[in-house]
Amino acid sequence: MAAPDSTPRKYGIVVVGGSGFTGTKICTHIAAKLPADLKWAVAGRSIERLEKLAARLRKEYPDRVQPELEVVTPEDTKTLGEVIGRAKVCISSVLYTVDGENIIRACVEQRTDYVDCAAVPPICRDWINKYHKQAEENGVALILACGFRAGAMDLLAIHGSRELAKKWSAQMGNMTLRIDMVESNMSGGTLRTMLSFGSGGPKALAEAGHPSFLTPIPYTNPLKTIRGIHKDPFLGRLTNSSPPGDQARGLINRSWGLLGGPKSSWGPNFQYNEYEKAESYLGAIGNMVRCYVMLTVFSWVQYPWFMNLILRSAPDLGTGPSEEQIRSAPFTAAAFIEADPAVEKNGGKGCLIELKYNEGGYPFAAMIMAQAAATLLYDRNLTDGIKGGCLTAAVLGPDFVERVRAGGLEIETTMVENALG
């Protein structure tokens, strides 16, 4: 399928915010893993930071086409539009609460496909309300929240759905995700994004956790979440202690709705639940206490004095954990996806999928953003004939799964015949 606008573009990809903390990792992955002849650009506010990044890329990857540098601020909408209009795909790695909307708007107007990792449901809903229809009309794919949340969940569902259909002609039932690592060392941008979400107060957090918060088709299935601590036969000891778990459900339920809801390939009884891994019972209690503390802190962020107190000790924008800290904790996660239990022949059948990315959490997020952009640039076979709109990584389909494999993600799949006995 051709790009939304067949007019020749100077760049295949432009990374806006490419000299920031996550943006630098996106650019490094592009240089290391995407085709060496890709013509691309890095855009940011500071020519000094852009030149520093470019010098490092030239030194480490001298045999590839080097990125061009574009100095632009999101507030300068005219120049921003010109830069984005020179590319087929834009990756946005900025502080989304401040600069994100101008980039989204420019992509819609310039007919440039788009990828971000803005996994903040209220921001996503605002952009959906404002830009989905126009993006759909313009044939522009805006892939939202394609980082750890909810890009990883989408690729698990894409892969699991395909494996169940191939093995047993079955659709999905409950998808249980195990989070193995809680990111304790956050970048300045990640922390500020989380704080902005919490600033809406407990009511806004609760609303964003509704299963139909972002769905184009209402999600009406009753939730079957296990509270507290339990032991799963495939995933081990788990705790219902992931603070953003409900919001992640809202994001992946949008994927389910975009693909057709009850009539989608994921099936009418698809359901997502997220838990954290616990090595011991004492560790499980620790998970629950930490979750309570985090939710309490989020409830206080609505007060300006507390927000300012947190920001005083927050990492600066563009900074984050060291390379040693990142590499010391490889990204791992696992999901057990049952075949739709409402169909009698599916009883006990399911699919265990384990993920591993050795370089760590932030490089993982950078990798899947870069590979989503590559999927749009080189494949663009959007599922079910979708042409554009405010979408999720789910619409990128199996091409996306194969590209993240090529990007270094290890995916181990075990088909289970009798999970009940």
Predicted confidence (pLDDT) per residue in 140-185, tens digit: 999 999 998 889 999 999 999 999 999 999 999 999 999 987 666 7
> pLDDT of 313-331, one tens digit each?
888 888 888 888 888 889 9
Task: Give the separation between CA 251 and CA 408, rounded to whole angstroms.
Answer: 25
Cβ atoms within 10 Å, residue 95: 19
Would you say the C-alpha torsion 147, 104, 263, 249 has a positive or negative sign?
positive
User: What pLDDT score was predicted for residue 109?
Assistant: 98
Q: What would the 3-class secondary structure string for 360-384 be?
A: CHHHHHHHHHHHHHHHHHHCCCCHH
52 to 24, 49, 264, 329: CA distances (angstroms): 11, 5, 47, 27
For 23-35, b/e burial (b = at least 16 CB within 10 A) is: bbbbbbbbbeebe
User: What pLDDT score was predicted for residue 181?
Assistant: 73
Question: Residue ranges of the chain with pLDDT lower than 50?
Answer: 1-4
Task: Give the separation between CA 291 and CA 287, rounded to whole angstroms.
Answer: 6
> In the chain, where are the structural domains located?
150-361+408-416
Whether omega before 150 lies within 30 degrees of 0, making that bond cis, reads: yes
Task: Give the separation between CA 384 and CA 43, rounded to whole angstroms.
Answer: 33
Cβ atoms within 10 Å, residue 150: 32
57 to 19, 24, 115, 167, 369: CA distances (angstroms): 12, 10, 22, 44, 19
Task: Give the separation between CA 165 and CA 182, rounded to whole angstroms.
Answer: 32
User: What pLDDT score was predicted for residue 327?
Assistant: 85
Distance of CA 64 to the CA centre of its chain: 27
Q: At CA 24, angle to CA 23 and CA 30, rounded to 5?
A: 90
Give the tokens for residue 261.
Answer: 């809801």
User: What pLDDT score was predicted for residue 187?
Assistant: 86
Q: Which of 201, 212, 180, 219 is nearest to 364 (CA)?
A: 180
Single pTM value for the model: 0.95
Q: How many helices (H) and strands (E) does the chain have?
A: 14, 14
